Every structure is written in structure tokens, then in C-alpha cells.
Structure 1
């Protein structure tokens, strides 16, 4: 391989990087620590171009059994590209201080297979960037298990209160609308 060929390849590679970054909507730019991963984090851009349900969770809330319905929703639509992101939070004082206990509730008690983060602030001035962006497009969560449905372009198509169960027809319709959206 000639020096000219290598230089040309490097130039093309460097030009492609900004294009890839531009494909990730502002809402999804950033990293979050993955639950039960010993310091490992994941890039939210992994959800770019995919329909997404984002929900703030808590292990000791009356709505915690919704994990079962969220998992069923994920299993039902996963083959169509749906992702679910659970973000535990103690903003409403119903999450454990011990992330191992949070992981047990999610993974063992409810069999969650979708992505979960370490506990994060989700409301008010201390909210993480993802939840600030969600609130700008919709509204801030007022309690645990508030749900946002995000389309393939990173736009909130609907949000639902804690009272809305994951199998609610309106939430299902919003998920199907997000799945049908074009990347």
C-alpha cells in the first residue's frame, strides 16, 4: 500500500467520523453507567435510529411490578427494533442505595433483559442530560415509572404517567407509531 493510498484512506476516515456523530440525535448524546457492570458505561447513541421507551424506575414503589409489563413490551417488539431503557432513580425516595439490590429487583425478581442504568437523577435541576432533553420535548417525570416513547429520529412522540401500564392501548399505539417512523 502506497503512502498516498494510506493518506487518502485516513482522510476519508476522518471525514466519515463527523457524519456518524451527526446521525446521533442530541437527545441521545452521552454515556451512562450500566447497572451491575462494575464501572462500565454505554453510549446512548447505540439507540440512535431505533424506537425507544425510556422509563425512570424505582425498586420499592407501588408501580415496581410494571417491570414485568415493560419486559413483555420489549419482548413483543424487540424484533421490530424497539429498545427499552430503564433508569433507576431515588428522586422520589423509593430506590435502594445499593445498586446490587437494584439489580436483584430488576434482573432476578422481574427477569428484565432490557438495558438498565445505575441510579440517576431524573427530575429538577440535577436531572441527567437525557431526562432534561426528554422534559424539554414533553414534561418532567412527577413520579417513578413515567414513560417516554421516542421515535427513530430522537423525538418524543408521547409520554405517559406512572398510572399508565406498559400494555395500555395508548402506549402500545405510541410504540407502534415510533416503530413505523423512518430513521
Structure 2
């Protein structure tokens, strides 16, 4: 199959975002990497997953996985803090080194375009983001591969096997 030099960039890479420090960015810098996009919260029963997400990131980052944290206050107001407070919490409590982004909405009228792409009707895995710590696995070429609910732990066989397959290009 011939590849065009002008192939359209996957939509997920071009969506405007802000990092946790408020700097304008996109996911384009992560092109060629497998991504695990997670809506995170500091005061949730699933908050201890930060530890597992960081372990996952450290285990797989040299193989091409990037975990991306997107703080969200949509579920039970469990992420009330400012970006600075969130950043301090994540680094002091869980030694988070994976990239974190600006707080956003995953649902409702203010739903961020990233989450509209991940969960909307044109997504390969359409359906609502149901709670904090939902996870979306993105292939190295920017395709949405899977959606995992909050109760899927970062070190679960289900998730790690899917990451291994994504990194292998399967």
C-alpha cells in the first residue's frame, strides 16, 4: 500500500489543548507513540490509580507509551483544585512524571473537543465517559483503539495486553 506524503493527520493530534501550566499545545508531539488518555481527579475513590498510571508510564515509556492525565471536575466535584494545586498534589503524593493537562470537561455542553472525539458518535468506541479514571488507548498512528472504565486498573492484564498490542502495531 502506498503512503501519501500528504496523508491527513489523525484528528486527535490536531485538537487544541493546554498543558497543566496553561501553555497552548496539541498531541502532535506524541505522534508515533501509543497514548493512554485518562480523565483524572484528586478526591476520587480511584485516585490511587495515579500510582499505577505512573508505574505503567515508567515501565512502557521507553517502548513508546505516553500516559496523559486530563484533570476533570465533572464527576462528584472530585477535582476542585486549580491546575497548580493539581500539579503539586500529583507530584507530592504520587510522584507523577507523565504529562498533565489543563482541567477540562469530559461531558455536557462544555465537553472538550478531545473528549467529543474520544467518546462521540464518530469514535470507534462511542459512549459516555462514565466517571473519573476512564482510559482511552490510542494507537501509534493516532487511531482510537479502546475505552476502559474506571475499574480497569492500570496494571490489569486486560489493559497491559492491549498496550503491548498497540506498541507492536497490532
Q: TM-score, normalised by structure 2?
A: 0.88
Which structure is larger by alpha-carbon Rg, 1 or 2? Answer: 1
Structure 1 residue 31, shift from structure 2 partner: 2.6
* Deviant stretches of 4+, over 3 Å: none
- By how many angstroms is 1:97 displaced? 3.6
Within 2, Cα distance between the matches of 1:90 and 1:24?
30
Distance 1:140 1:154, change over 3 A: farther
Query: How far apart are the structure 2 equivalents of 1:96 and 1:24?
Result: 34
Alignment of 1:74-89 (within 5 A): 74-89=57-72
Q: Please state if 1:44 is matched with 2:36.
A: no
Give the Å deviation of 1:142: 0.6
Q: Which residue of 1 aligns with 2:132?
A: 144
Q: Which blocks of at least 5 consecutive residues in structure 1 are unaligned?
A: 1-18
Do 1:33 and 1:117's aligned partners in 2 also have CA atoms closer than 8 Å? Answer: yes
Residues in 2 aligned to 1:99 and 1:162: alpha-carbon distance in whole angstroms: 22
Higher helix share: 1
**What's the Cα RMSD here?**
1.8
Shift of 1:140: 2.4
Unpaired runs of 5+ in structure 2?
Answer: none
3-state secondary structure, aligned to 2:104: coil
1:126 to 110, 134, 142: 110
TM-score norm. by structure 1 comes to 0.82
